[in-house]
Structure 1
Amino acid sequence: MHEYARRMPVGIDAVAYNPGFVPGTGLARNAGPVSRFAMRRILPVMTLTPFATSRNAAGRYLADVVLGITRAPTGSYVDRGREARSSKESYDPQRERELWDAVERFAAAYAAGADGLSGEVMSGSSRQIEQ
């Protein structure tokens, strides 16, 4: 997020938002039947604890960020309803640039109509698959 904030034009803010664990949202839609049942019927009870966020609360928290009710300057990380420090690794400018470059390569391959990944991006893996 810090790299996005540095690269965006003035007036465009980039903010990372983490709603926390939000059961009942389809997160486990591709999981097995037991996991899907638990996510739909059992785990929503966790929203009564600090360990999970209800769908309504997650939406309110996000709206508060977008509307400026939750203070979130560009480049910040919002955990549920408050600005927080992100992981130590997220402040490494070299990692941020590497991630930016990787995303640009993946996006360029996708935009070019590639099958998702170019040979350049998957250099070692694509050669291994071809053998």
Structure 2
Amino acid sequence: MENFTPYSALAGGALIGISCALLLFFNGRIAGISGIMNGVFFAPKNDRAWRLLFLAGLVIGGLFLQGLLPGFNTPRQGYPIGLLGIGGFLVGFGTRMANGCVSGHGVCGIARLSIRSIAATLTFIASGMVTVYVIRHLLEVAA
């Protein structure tokens, strides 16, 4: 953990928590990104606008931060494109299989003391640990 920045981590966590609370308070919806994204394609037409605006806000917020602090986020280099594609597919598959993602289960579900969400989040963490071990130590891909 050579680049751990507790203040930015705390600020980011607080912003995520506030956005989840605001969405629940004003819209009665859980801020699970995979569910929001899925609803863009499969929800009734009158339920799509807020979803598109929420997702656009995620992208615009990231672009705004990058413009405000140009060196803040540096993408990692040295990962094979095929490995990234497989990883993306597996994340999507796992999200569907778990009926939600880290934002839905880890942030909103645990806050609601959902046993299912706690189990899913522990599974996400364990899977991430195994993945890091395999990528770094067995496949010897750059960190």
Q: Considering the TM-score relative to the shorter chain, is it more than 0.5?
A: no
Give the TM bin, normalised by the shorter chain. Answer: under 0.3
TM-score by length of 2: 0.25
Structure with more of its chain in helix, by fraction: 2
* Greater radius of gyration (CA): 1
TM-score by length of 1: 0.26
